A and B are shown apart, each in its own frame.
Chain A
Amino acid sequence: MSLPFLVFFACAILAVAGAIVLIVAREPIHSALALILVMMALAVLYILLGAEFIAAVQIIVYAGAVMVLFVFVIMLLNAGVEERTDWSKIAKWIGLPLGFFLLLEVAHWLAHSSVGKAVANGAGGPQTAFSTTELSTALFRQYLFPFEATSILILIAILGALVLARKAE
């Protein structure tokens, strides 16, 4: 087995293990740390796919800023052990079969549809990394309007968070 496969499977196992720990952990802080593990593993996979800048953004913005926000709120609210309740009947009798059906459907699509086959047979394209220069050119030329729209979205989010978090009068 060659090096890319070894790196891929190591990171894939880490990511899936982190996601499972997120589900079974009872302390929210353990879930947060597991999620950071998933994000780090995904960043390594982005480098493997040649998207180096995305990997850097993943670590800086996601694992850095967003998860620090989560950990900060967990600390601020002193979130302790999660209460367990019985599964609702809807989750048990409808949710589980539907979730299983969704997995089956995705697997079936990957295995049989023409799009899935075309993607599966592609060897992952040429192994040159995506250039950050081209990425920024696309972002500031072709996608300039969505880019500006997201800046307005962030402004609205800041205002919303401020309005929500201020003291009631």
Chain B
Amino acid sequence: MSVVPVSYYLVLSGILFGLGVVAFVFKRNIITIFMAIELMLNAVNLAFVAFARAHNQLDGLVFVFFVIVVAAAEAAVGLAIVIVIMHNRETLNVERVNLLKF
């Protein structure tokens, strides 16, 4: 039974990360922008697991754990901030949250 080469996973990871960057830049809804960040983190996780498999070492998987933990913490704090923004400014569009914009 042949095995899928690790480079295939890395290319998929790169494509997903690129799509995450595109979503991050082009979306206007602040919740969707958070989702784009989660997509990028997922792409990085795939690269970590693929490299762990390539070198046959466990350390990559441990890093995936830490990435997942940080992503969960970031989502909790970020969504709390989103709720506060919604209460104060009545909008989810990032272009209307422009108080600090020059």
Q: Which residues of A contact B (CB under 8 A)?
A: 2-5, 8, 12, 15-16, 19-20, 22-23, 28, 31-32, 35, 38-39, 42, 45-46, 48-51, 53-54, 57-58, 61-62, 65-66, 69-70, 73-74, 76-77, 79, 82-85, 87, 91, 95, 99, 102-103, 106-107, 110, 116, 119-127, 130, 134-135, 138-139, 142-143, 146, 150, 153-154, 156-158, 160-161, 164-165
Q: Which of A15, A91, A102 contacts B26 (CB 8 A)?
A: A91
Q: B52 contacts which chain A residues (CB < 8 A)?
A: 49, 51, 130
Nearest-neighbour CB distance to chain A for B92, whole angstroms, equals 6
Residues of chain B at the chain A interface (Cβ within 8 Å) = 1-12, 14-16, 18-23, 25-29, 31-32, 34-36, 38-39, 42, 45-46, 49-56, 58-59, 61-62, 64-66, 68-77, 79-84, 86, 92-93, 95
Q: Whole-angstrom distance from the CB of A139 to the nearest CB of chain B? A: 6
Q: Told that A4-B4, A20-B19 touch, could you supply 9 new A-B pairs with CB distance under 8 A?
A: A15-B16, A22-B23, A32-B35, A49-B50, A66-B71, A82-B28, A99-B22, A150-B70, A164-B83
- In the complex, which residue of chain A has the Cβ closest to the Cβ of B19? A19
Could you tell me the distance between the alpha carbons of A5 and B8 in the complex, rounded to whole angstroms?
Answer: 10
Using A49-B9, A77-B92, A153-B70 as known contacts, say yes or no to A69 and B53 having CB atoms under 8 A apart: no
